[in-house]
Structure 1
Amino acid sequence: MSSLKKLARQTATYGLSSIVGRLINYFLVPLYTRIFLPQEYGIVTELYAYASFLMILLTFGMETTFFRFSESDHDKESVYATSLWPVVTVNLIFAAGGILSASYFSGKLHYGDHAEYIVYFVLILALDAITAIPFARLRQQHQALRFSTIKLVNIGINVLCNFFFLIFCPYLVRHGVQLPDALYHSTGRVGYVFLSNMIASAATLVILHRELCAVRPAFDRKLLKEMTWYTLPLLLAGLAGMVNETLDRILLRYLLVVPHGIADAGAYVMAQMGIYGANYKISILMTLFIQTFRYAAEPFFFAQAREHDSRHIYSQVMTYFIVFGLMIFLGATLYIDIIKHFVGRKYYSGLGIVPILLLANLCLGIIFNLSIWYKLNNKTRYGAYLTFFGATVTIAANFVLIPILGYAGAAWATFICYFLMMLLSYFWGQKHFYVEYETTKILGYVGFALGLFFLSRYWPFRSPLLLFAANSAAFLLFVGVAVYKEKLTRVLLPRKAA
């Protein structure tokens, strides 16, 4: 029990800076969805989906490679220089090429005359990729405070710039203040989302000048060859993993079927992408839980491997993880009438995908718990097999379901992908590293939570107050049963309080 209490504390500690940063960033979603039309927000959704793939290509797994070789018998300064210079070189070339071809790509993506969207976007990617290695060095040197501070400063600058360009400047214009075109113009408002991000990324590069200037001007070519062979599989696995996470938002443009009678097909498609992207953000509640858990769980799992009862502990952790995940699922879905105000009214038509995405992300968290079997047994190739299997399922499911169900098909494709990956990982794990998971109990909790969820869809109440009371009773019933059955107070509270 003391080990589980330690994991709970570490999850909160490690996740604090990440939660604060991501929550601040996600507070921009209510702003965007109230300022932009769905087709405008669709541009934001689309470009940031491309960003996920491009960042993997532009850093080509060099962060993980830097960690690996820093712990080897190589000179740490040489490893740093050899990691950094290739990334800097590639991204300078990428930035130059992207700026020169901005008009071409803007036309291909049907962004009209707004080539500046591409310019800002390319510079964001290049700047963030270049700073990835200095950030990795801060982690390697255990400079957690400096790392977290710079990340939060980046987010703070981004948020302030968004408020300046999207709220303050329009306010001045409405009240008769003439602003120079170089500072603000009312057309192409979406561009200010990317401009704000670019300013924040540039500021981050300036703040990290000490880490960038500390690098030696030369790198070890022989070492670079070793690092390249190490990083290539990471690059491929990273791309496959990103297929599972973001490909749906890219494919929507090409697979959505436009209903008859829609005059502007392009605007319709971008609006659907915007609605999907905005409601996807609501599943942040489950994503944050999983991310904070992962920060603490991986070192915890490896540390427990030396204990005689390690497999029993892994089983307990799985049960507790799923129970807390189901609490988040019920909290988000039973109180959706409150949580929906996170996005603008124009985006409410997509709320039906939120439960699907919450369950999909819960499956993803279970996959992480199950992954301990191949990490402890040095069979990490199974992790790659699993990722490529998921990528195949994602592509096939999106191609089948999006033309039939629209953006709901993309949500179901995400769920199907992670659900099948979860099953495959479980059966592989039980074959190679048996853990006596409390499967019957877990299935009981899942059935109980889903039963309460479906019951809440058919409450006979029309009064919002009665509906709130009924949903609250259902939520508290699940929490009460879980606390009683699992004695969760012993994990979460100090011994005297428990």
Structure 2
Amino acid sequence: MSSLRQLVSQTAIYGLSSIVGRFLNYLLVPLYTYTFSAGEYGVVSEFYAYAGFFAVLLVLGLETGYFRFRQRPEFSGDEVYRSALGFLLIANLGFIAAIYYWQQPLADWLQYPQHPEYLLWFGWILALDALSALPFARLRAENRAWRFAGIKMTEIFIAIALNLLFLLAWPKLNNLWPDNELAAYYDPTLGVGYIFLANLAASVCKLLLLLPQFRAVRFQLDPRVLGPMLRYSLPMVIIGFAGMVNEMLDRAILKVLLPYDLPTNLKMLGIYGACYKLSILMSLFVQAFRYAGEPFFFSYAGRADAKRAYALVMQYFVIAGVFIFLVVMLFIDLFKYFIGEEYRAGLEVVPILLMANLLLGIYVNLSVWYKLSDRTGLGAWVSLAGAGLTIVLNICWIPVWGYVGSAWATLACYLFMVVLSWALGRRYYPVSYPVGKIAGYFALGLALYFANRYVLDIYQINVWLAGSLGLIIYTGIAAWLDVRPMLQKRRVTSA
């Protein structure tokens, strides 16, 4: 189907900005973990855990609301865009004002009294990113994937360049020539604050590149548009916030729930945060799919074969996701060198987190039932149920199993949400997903992973050889069972 091919191509382009671009950003992890101690890196992990929650709150669900309401005949796309953008601007200016007012009390509460500037810088990052969300959504809706990718890549390259400047080049220059003119402007006590400054500068540049999307419309708050759009969108905030509880809560509360002193807890948080980065290939795949998938699901909804297309998308998504799991885990003995030696004590969480993120991607696919049936409120209850389970399991398991308990809690939560969403989808928007085949690919991936670990442990075979053999077996089976029939069908149809 041409629309499915378009989805694949759009996912690839968004993946260029998300997967390729952020993979370059991912290469900063060795810089961080070889430059900072685990305790210092724990600060970064904690702040970026908070960022996930505020990224949801500050966008107010209007990204998804824009996709939904621009399709409605009673509104024009420009009317929807103007109202949503104006509301976002007011909300985020209020957020920055609150950060200014409570900057020091918040820093004291978070146990960073010496660095209240961290909160201000991070607040600006969050607000600028939230204001960028709607212009990016418009680019996606208009299928301007290359411009989307170009701006995202530019932001990432700027962030990488400034990280290298602040953490490597500038300190080295000061060591070689301590009397240089720039030395007086460098403050070693800022530590990981230079990471925040680099990202803030990149966010500013991103917003400047999006100015044409701001100048193209005038701001307005049309109650006729904004009222129903907010009623649709605000449950998405609950869904997104609950999703952040599932995805980020562990890193936000490990510092509190781990049964050690504050420096040790921050060290454990740093180890867990660094190992979480090793599952980033799966996270980026899910993110790239989400960028391309959401507009596809809405635009394809009115077609007669829509549900069949959604089932096919799910099937091939799982095939690709299990492949990514195997790429990381069959070569984990090589991937581990992306983080410093101190951090490798937490490698056992990587397969758990990879599987958890794959389940999250399946849930993204399944969420079509409440988005297309306008039952976002019911979808919010699913997310809240998952968030509740995450909170309970983290509280119960972290004091006993440490950060490993957090990883298992994430996996258990996403599995629960997948099962619940699938069951509700069968009632409100039934799609014949190939459940047996999906389960089979999961089983095949896990079997190849455990077989690989057994072979490496018992027979000491070369890592490249054993990993490549596993990937060849998986790819061959997937090609025979699913790619070959699809190609044959296409040849018959074209003939």
| 1:365 is the counterpart of 2:367 | no
1:354 offset after TM fit, Å?
A: 0.5
List per-residue Cα deviations over 1:234-265 (Å, max 9, x = no partner): 3222222221221111121111112xxxxxx2
More divergent stretch after superposition (57-66 vs 267-276): 57-66
- SS of aligned partner of 2:235: helix
| 1:20 is the counterpart of 2:16 | no
Structure-2 separation of matches of 1:326 and 1:7: 19
AA matched with 1:359? M
Equivalent runs, 1:482-497 vs 2, <5 Å? 482-488=478-484, 490=486
- SS of aligned partner of 1:457: helix
Aligned to 1:261: none
Q: Aligned to 2:251, which of 242, 249, 260?
A: 249
| 1:443 is the counterpart of 2:439 | yes
List per-residue Cα deviations over 1:450-488 (Å, max 9, x = no partner): 222223333365786534423432332222222223345
CA gap 1:101/1:2 in 2 versus in 1, 3 angstroms: closer
Aligned to 1:388: 384
Q: Aligned to 2:187, which of 157, 163, 185?
A: 185
Q: Aligned to 2:402, which of 391, 401, 406?
A: 406
1:296 offset after TM fit, Å?
A: 4.1
Aligned to 2:281: 285
Structure-2 separation of matches of 1:76 and 1:423: 35
| 1:350 is the counterpart of 2:352 | no
Aligned to 2:206: 204
1:339 offset after TM fit, Å?
A: 1.0
AA matched with 2:167? L
Aligned to 2:43: 43
Aligned to 2:472: 476
1:410 offset after TM fit, Å?
A: 0.8
Aligned to 1:262: none
List per-residue Cα deviations over 1:389-446 (Å, max 9, x = no partner): 2111111111111111111111111100011111122233344555554444433332
1:338 offset after TM fit, Å?
A: 0.7
Is the contact made by 2:14 and 2:145 (CA closer than 8 Å) also made in structure 1? no
AA matched with 1:339? F
CA gap 1:351/1:120 in 2 versus in 1, 3 angstroms: same
More divergent stretch after superposition (267-276 vs 428-437): 428-437
CA gap 1:491/1:166 in 2 versus in 1, 3 angstroms: farther
1:190 offset after TM fit, Å?
A: 0.2
Aligned to 1:331: 327
Aligned to 1:236: 238
Structure-2 separation of matches of 1:489 and 1:85: 50
Task: List gaps (5 residues or longer) in structure 2.
Answer: none
User: RMSD across aligned C-alpha pairs, in angstroms?
Assistant: 3.2
More divergent stretch after superposition (468-477 vs 398-407): 468-477
More divergent stretch after superposition (156-165 vs 463-472): 463-472
- SS of aligned partner of 2:191: coil
1:281 offset after TM fit, Å?
A: 1.4
CA gap 1:325/1:142 in 2 versus in 1, 3 angstroms: closer
Equivalent runs, 1:151-230 vs 2, <5 Å? 151-178=152-179, 180=182, 183-213=185-215, 215-216=217-218, 219-220=221-222, 223-230=225-232
- SS of aligned partner of 2:114: coil
What TM-score does the superposition give when structure 2 sets the normalisation length?
0.87
More divergent stretch after superposition (439-448 vs 163-172): 439-448
Structure-2 separation of matches of 1:62 and 1:357: 29
CA gap 1:448/1:69 in 2 versus in 1, 3 angstroms: closer
1:383 offset after TM fit, Å?
A: 2.3
CA gap 1:294/1:128 in 2 versus in 1, 3 angstroms: closer
Equivalent runs, 1:264-275 vs 2, <5 Å? 265-275=261-271
CA gap 1:452/1:79 in 2 versus in 1, 3 angstroms: closer
Task: List gaps (5 residues or longer) in structure 1.
Answer: 259-264
Structure-2 separation of matches of 1:460 and 1:50: 39
1:282 offset after TM fit, Å?
A: 1.2
Is the contact made by 1:237 and 1:388 (CA closer than 8 Å) also made in structure 2? yes
Structure-2 separation of matches of 1:403 and 1:161: 38
Aligned to 2:29: 29
* Percent identity of paired positions between Structure 1 and Structure 2: 44
What TM-score does the superposition give when structure 1 sets the normalisation length?
0.87
Structure-1 separation of matches of 2:423 and 2:195: 44
Is the contact made by 2:238 and 2:383 (CA closer than 8 Å) also made in structure 1? no
More divergent stretch after superposition (287-296 vs 71-80): 71-80
More divergent stretch after superposition (208-217 vs 84-93): 208-217
Structure-1 separation of matches of 2:230 and 2:403: 38
- SS of aligned partner of 2:288: helix
AA matched with 2:25? N
CA gap 1:12/1:101 in 2 versus in 1, 3 angstroms: same
Structure-2 separation of matches of 1:40 and 1:13: 35
Structure-2 separation of matches of 1:67 and 1:440: 32
1:358 offset after TM fit, Å?
A: 0.8
Structure-1 separation of matches of 2:4 and 2:88: 40
| 1:108 is the counterpart of 2:99 | no
